[in-house]
Amino acid sequence: MPYCSSEQKLQGFDEPEVEIQDEDVSDTEYTATVHINRPCASCGTEAGYYDLDVSEVFEHECPVQDGAPEGHRFAMCPEHLDLNKEGQGATGCEACDQYVICLNDDCNCADDPEFELESSDVNPVDDYQRTDRHGKPIKNPRYQRHLIGAEVTATIACQRCGESFDVVATDSVPASSFEVESSH
């Protein structure tokens, strides 16, 4: 419980406030650092804080080109969809003779896709640990640990197929882990 210098007494905490400080998409993992502020209930200044690192590994398969049979998961490069079947820089799967991979020399669409962060949103998580380490319910609220954290929803775009999708990364820590300001 923080000591509020404006009230000259101990005060409680207000609802947690969250803000993304740093975020990145690397290969198939989204990571973010979220600053969590626990403001003083009396004056609203930051009374406790924690910098939480959240991450989530995601999977993405580019959609199959129209006409490609099931099991052939290569997408035609969106920049070269107009290439005709005569093969002006395109080739097909030997098993099905479908043109699903672009072989244009200056195009890297057959490589692993790259991902770009389009937008993100963060919400606070304020909950209690209601089960013990064995999965049994903790009946007495006195023994339930207070958890505070963040849930980040990031919209990520695949640079190969152009599809956008959401990735949700969530984590929380015990409220006792927060750094508390000695006076504010």
List, as one string, the DSSP characters of 44-87: -SEEEEEEEEEEEE----PPPPTTPPTT--PPPPGGGTT--TTT
Do the Cβ atoms of 173 and 52 come closer than 8 Å?
yes
The predicted-structure confidence for 139-171, as pLDDT tens digits, reads as follows 888 888 999 999 999 999 988 777 899 999 999
Rounded Cα distance between 7 and 85, Å, is 77
The predicted-structure confidence for 9-20, as pLDDT tens digits, reads as follows 777 888 999 999
- Residue 120: the pLDDT is 95
Q: How far is CA 142 from the centre of its chain?
A: 32
Burial class from Cβ neighbours inside 10 Å (0-12, 13-18, 19+) for residue 93 reads middle
Place of tokens 């990364």: 169
Q: Which residues of 159-180 are buried (b: 16+ CB within 10 A; e: fewer)?
A: ebbeeeeebebebbbebeebee
Which has the closest alpha carbon to 26: 3, 66, 68, 55?
Answer: 55
Residue 78: count of CB within 10 angstroms of its CB: 15
Work out the pLDDT band at 22, boundaries 50, 70, 90: very high
The predicted-structure confidence for 72-86, as pLDDT tens digits, reads as follows 444 455 445 454 444
Residue 60 corresponds to which tokens in the numbers above? 């993405």
Q: Is the pTM of this model over 0.75?
A: no
Q: How far is CA 183 from the centre of its chain?
A: 34
The predicted-structure confidence for 50-69, as pLDDT tens digits, reads as follows 999 999 999 988 765 555 44
Q: What is the mean pLDDT of the chain?
A: 78
What does the CA dihedral 6, 11, 15, 18 come to, rounded to 10 degrees? Answer: 60
The predicted-structure confidence for 95-143, as pLDDT tens digits, reads as follows 444 444 554 455 555 567 789 999 999 999 999 988 888 999 988 888 8
88 or 14: which carries more pLDDT confidence? 14
* 3 state DSSP class of 162: coil
* 3 state DSSP class of 176: helix
